[in-house]
Structure 1
Amino acid sequence: MARYPWQHPTASISNAAGSNTPSQPQSQVYLPETLDPDQVRLAAMEQDEPKRRLIRDAAAVRKQRGITQVQMAEELGVPCRTLEEWLQGRRYPKGPGQTLLCRWLEGHRSQITGHL
């Protein structure tokens, strides 16, 4: 005889009246605790913090060099729209995009600090 989660292991399928209604649950099924939405949001922000710093630094170097977003996108080899979304925080670069930004930033940071 198959048992269902709501049935107690010793419960009979039919009661004295002859109906086939399941007995009352004897134990509760425990679901994983729900996370606080603020905790979820903060965890996501902490996970994205290195990307935010990278984008913030790249935007600062772009401004110091006095180039446009179009020129920066051409130097990086990415579409202008993609770079625009990165710089405005609507999207974050994935692995290859992060590598491109890191290399671009390292190359131009040394040029800027060398001129100061």
Structure 2
Amino acid sequence: MNRRALMTRYPWQSPTASISNAAGSNMPSHPPSQVYLSATLDSDQVRLAAMEQDEPKRRLIRDAAALRKQRGITQVKMAEELGVPCRTLEEWLQGRRYPKGPGQTLLKRWAEKHKGNN
């Protein structure tokens, strides 16, 4: 297979792009502003859905960070108690990453265990 066949084809590169509409151009029949608006709303809705999905994780991390400060322990000590690398815990606490299922379970169990032991 040649290299050109492996390249991604865009609508203006496809063989059907030469077929024109009644006005004689290849432009879509709806105005570009409507296309942009609907694309923006879709991406905003997707972003909002992702944020809503991550909210319980954010709350768990916030509570765990507050509990760590209440107990007066370092991130290194907290990471040792959780059994995760210090860098991983640091990224969770700073919001650069969110824990997946096992990490969430570790944080929940750690928080439940140490809530009453302030």
1:25-59 deviation per Cα after TM superposition (whole angstroms, max 9, x unaligned): 68x8xxxx645232222111101000000000000
Aligned pairs (5 A) from 1:1-116: 24=20, 34=39, 36=41, 37-112=43-118
Unpaired runs of 5+ residues, structure 1, are 1-5, 7-20
Structure 2: how far apart are the matches of 1:91 and 1:83?
Answer: 9
* Runs of 4+ deviating beyond 6 Å: none
Amino acid at match of 1:61: L
Q: Structure 1 length normalisation: TM-score?
A: 0.67
Identity of aligned residues (%): 76
Structure number with the higher helix fraction is: 2
Instruction: Report the 3-state secondary structure (helix = DSSP H, G, I; strand = E; otherwise coil) of the residue aligned with 1:48.
Output: helix
Structure 1: how far apart are the matches of 2:104 and 2:71?
Answer: 20
Aligned residues: 93
Structure 2: how far apart are the matches of 1:42 and 1:25?
Answer: 37
Q: CA RMSD in A?
A: 2.8
Q: Structure 2 length normalisation: TM-score?
A: 0.66
Structure 2: how far apart are the matches of 1:73 and 1:46?
Answer: 27
